């Protein structure tokens, strides 16, 4: 039995929930599918905060300028302007909806983060900003009777007929069986693909399924070579890489090597507040120079009570591993954190496939360029989630005309639908970390691609196929880009080149091409 709704949203992070709320304003029915519980997403784990122009000493031009500098020449100025200007309005709306950002005497508290020229980062409950935003958006969505959330509903693929996206195939959480749901349009808000790497700050759900599904449906992907590695993930043997927020360095934390020396002055005059790509590469260089596997984040100059109040979640996590932020140096090393690339969209979330929209980390509007400015991601999800929802509702899509006999068969067996095999996961993650990681070169990328082709020749589940495909696309784009820019660093091409002041565009039928702008309408 198939289901029919007006609109489908895949994902329940900030972009997905905001898109659903916007669509619901039109009176249409929205079904939100997510492969875990409704609150499980990258948004949930966002600690540092959300960047927004709201303080008296800040303005849109400054925020735009900081974003453009961090993006290393590949940001779309129109996308950045949209993010910054509309972001203020949408954050104010969030506050009206009950989002409890931290305050001091009734005034909003702003903090500093790397590469920002002003203290413009709002946070909630110290270091649980994403969790608070999801809470308030879920509460708002619950008020809209036309929004139906279906948690634990893993999506296998998009249904495309006559070049138009008309629905999805998913695993029904009640029947525990595959089924289809059809709609006038589908909005992808499935997040990023941090799990492609051996070391990541991302939750287990961040496997990039939305990007892969869009690719197989015929959509363009853009800038897949640009992956941001967070410089400071807690590095303890046998423990997951827990994110130690950018805000720790913004509040005065310094990086030290195994000998206790502060070392960032060797690499960048901005020290610990340099952009993330520079700090990550600096840490890698320092670890190689000293022959160690980690460096240390030193917060001991700050008051213990202040650290507990400002970073309660980080404090509790560190204490669970026997570390006291106020007394101990925290072992850290970089980990994959954010995908600047994704499904190519215009500024309203439209992809190159009619009926398919995308917003948030799964998408690529050009707003981040080659390197995302810290704390712009929550703002991006909020702004472009709302815009994608508005566009989908306004574009006047007709009801899907489904010819069931023309649909390709669903993968057999529940494990075929949702599982990435252990062998594929381990091999891909290690290859991505070692050969398509923070530092790359032609030989390592070609070796990775050769091994990915071997893996692809196996009899893979849908999820495993998606996983290997995304890894292959990232490696191919990295091999094509013979320069170093933002999150992409080639030791054999260490300088930026105007020849590559372009976006990589990948399509399953057209292969890899390039474009001066990300916007698919051009």
- Three-state helix/strand/coil letters over 460-476: CCHHHHHHHHHHHHHHH
Encode burial over 362-378: b for 16+ CB neighbours within 10 A, e otherwise: bbbbbbbbbbbbbbbbb
What tokens appear for 421 in the block? 């095999």
Average pLDDT over residues 151-170: 92
pLDDT at position 205: 86
DSSP 109: P
The residues near 504 (Cβ < 8 Å, ≥ 6 apart) are 222, 223, 224, 225, 341, 477, 480, 481, 512, 513, 514
Query: Would the CA dihedral through 240, 343, 490, 472 be positive or negative?
Result: positive
Mean pLDDT along residues 259-276: 93
- Residue from 18, 135, 241, 276 carrying the catalytic annotation: 276
Q: Is the dihedral of CA 446, 212, 419, 194 positive or negative?
A: positive
| Dihedral over Cα of 251, 256, 260, 266: its sign | negative
Instruction: Say if CB 127 and CB 245 are below 8 A apart.
Output: yes
pLDDT at 93 over 50: yes
HSE of 65, CA atoms in CB hemisphere, 13 A: 8
**pLDDT at residue 506 is higher than 60:** yes
pLDDT at position 405? 40
pLDDT of the residue at 404: 52
Token pair, residue 517, equals 């702008």
Residue 510 has pLDDT above 90, yes or no: yes
Which tokens hold the place of 83? 């993010």
| pLDDT greater than 90 at residue 254 | yes
Q: Which residues pair with 485 in a beta bridge?
A: 488
Comparing C-alpha atoms, which of 36, 18, 307 is closest to residue 141? 18
Residue that is written with structure tokens 């005309």 in the block: 401
pTM of the model: 0.92
The radius of gyration of the chain's CA atoms, rounded to the nearest angstrom, is 22
**Alpha-carbon gap, residue 246 to 121, rounded angstroms:** 11
Cα–Cα dist 494/483, whole Å:
6
Average the pLDDT over 353-368 and give the result. Answer: 97
CA distance 372 to 68: 9
**Per-residue pLDDT tens digits for 472-494:** 999 999 999 999 999 999 999 99
Beta bridge partners of 159: 167
Amino acid 41: pLDDT: 53
Backbone dihedral angles phi then psi of residue 453, each to the nearest 5 degrees: -65, -40
pLDDT digits (tens, 9 = 90+) for 421-464: 899 999 999 999 999 999 999 999 999 999 999 999 888 888 99
Please say if the pLDDT value at position 11 is more than 70. Answer: yes
SS (H, E, C) 335-403: EEEEECCEEECCCCCECCCCCEEECHHHEECCCCCCCCCCCCHHHHHHHHHHHHHHHHHHCCCCCCCCC
Tell me the per-residue pLDDT of 208-246, one tens digit each, with 9 for 90 and over. 999 999 999 999 999 999 999 999 999 998 888 898 988
Is the model more confident about 406 or about 11? 11
Catalytic (active site) residue 276: yes
List the one residue out of 200, 92, 160, 217 whose CA is nearest residue 469: 217
78-116: b or e for each residue (b if 16 or more CB lie within 10 Å)? ebbbbbbebbbebbeebeeeebebbeeeeeebbbbbbbb
| Whether 31 contacts 167, CB under 8 Å | no
Q: Are 47 and 129 in contact (CB under 8 A)?
A: yes
Confidence band for 130, pLDDT divided at 50, 70 and 90: confident
pLDDT per residue as tens digits for the range 161-180:
999 999 999 988 788 788 89
Is residue 341 within 8 A of residue 226, CB to CB? The reply is yes
pLDDT at 408: 41
- Burial class of residue 29 in the structure, from the number of CB atoms within 10 Å of its CB (0-12 exposed, 13-18 middle, 19+ buried): middle
Helix axes 462-480, 442-456, angle to 10 degrees: 160
Report whether 438 contacts 281 (CB < 8 A).
Answer: yes
Nearest Cα to 509, choosing from 403, 353, 346?
Answer: 353
Tokens matching residue 299: 């917060």
């Amino acid at each position: 039995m198939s289901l029919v709704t007006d609109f489908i949203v895949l994902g329940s992070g900030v972009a997905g929930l905001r898109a659903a709320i916007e669509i619901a304003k039109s009176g249409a029915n929205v079904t939100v599918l997510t492969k875990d519980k409704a609150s499980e997403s990258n948004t949930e784990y966002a600690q540092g905060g959300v960047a927004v122009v709201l303080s008296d000493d800040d303005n849109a031009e400054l925020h735009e300028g900081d974003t453009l500098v961090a993006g290393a020449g590949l940001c779309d100025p129109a996308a950045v302007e949209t993010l910054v200007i509309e972001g203020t309005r949408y954050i104010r709306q969030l506050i009206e909806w009950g989002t409890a950002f931290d305050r001091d005497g009734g005034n909003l508290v702003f903090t500093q983060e790397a590469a920002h020229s002003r203290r413009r980062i709002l946070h909630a409950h110290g270091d649980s900003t994403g969790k608070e935003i999801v809470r308030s958006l879920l509460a708002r969505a619950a008020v809209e009777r036309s929004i139906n959330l279906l948690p634990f509903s893993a999506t296998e693929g998009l249904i495309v007929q006559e070049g138009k996206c008309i629905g999805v195939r998913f695993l029904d959480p009640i029947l525990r069986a595959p089924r289809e749901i059809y709609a006038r349009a589908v909005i992808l808000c499935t997040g990023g693909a941090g799990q492609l790497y051996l070391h990541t700050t991302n939750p287990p759900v961040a496997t990039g399924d939305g990007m892969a599904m869009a690719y197989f449906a015929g959509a363009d992907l853009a800038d897949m070579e640009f992956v941001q590695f967070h410089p400071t993930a807690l590095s303890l043997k046998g423990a997951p890489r827990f994110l130690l927020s950018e805000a720790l360095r913004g509040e005065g934390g310094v990086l030290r090597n195994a000998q206790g020396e502060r070392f960032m002055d060797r690499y960048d005059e901005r020290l610990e507040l340099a952009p993330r790509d520079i700090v990550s590469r600096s840490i890698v260089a320092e670890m190689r120079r000293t022959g160690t596997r980690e460096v240390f984040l030193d917060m001991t100059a700050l008051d213990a009570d202040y650290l507990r109040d400002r970073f309660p979640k980080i404090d509790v996590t560190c204490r669970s591993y026997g570390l006291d932020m106020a007394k101990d140096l925290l072992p850290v090393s970089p980990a994959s954190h954010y995908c600047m690339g994704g499904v190519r969209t215009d500024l309203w979330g439209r992809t190159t496939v009619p009926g398919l929209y995308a917003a948030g980390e799964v998408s690529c509007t050009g707003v981040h360029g080659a390197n995302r400015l810290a704390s712009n991601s929550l703002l991006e999800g909020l702004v472009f989630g709302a815009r994608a929802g508005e566009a989908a509702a306004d574009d006047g899509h007709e009801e899907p005309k489904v010819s069931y006999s023309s649909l390709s068969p669903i993968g057999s067996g529940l494990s075929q639908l949702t599982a990435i095999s252990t062998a594929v996961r381990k091999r891909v993650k290690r290859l991505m970390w070692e050969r398509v990681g923070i530092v790359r070169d032609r030989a390592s990328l070609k070796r990775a691609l050769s091994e990915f082709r071997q893996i692809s020749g196996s009899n893979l589940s849908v999820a495993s196929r998606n996983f290997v495909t995304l890894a292959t696309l990232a490696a191919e784009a990295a091999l094509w880009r013979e320069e170093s820019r933002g999150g992409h660093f080639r030791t054999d091409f260490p300088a930026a080149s105007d020849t590559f002041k372009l976006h990589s565009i990948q399509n399953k039928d057209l292969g890899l091409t390039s474009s001066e702008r990300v916007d698919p309408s051009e």
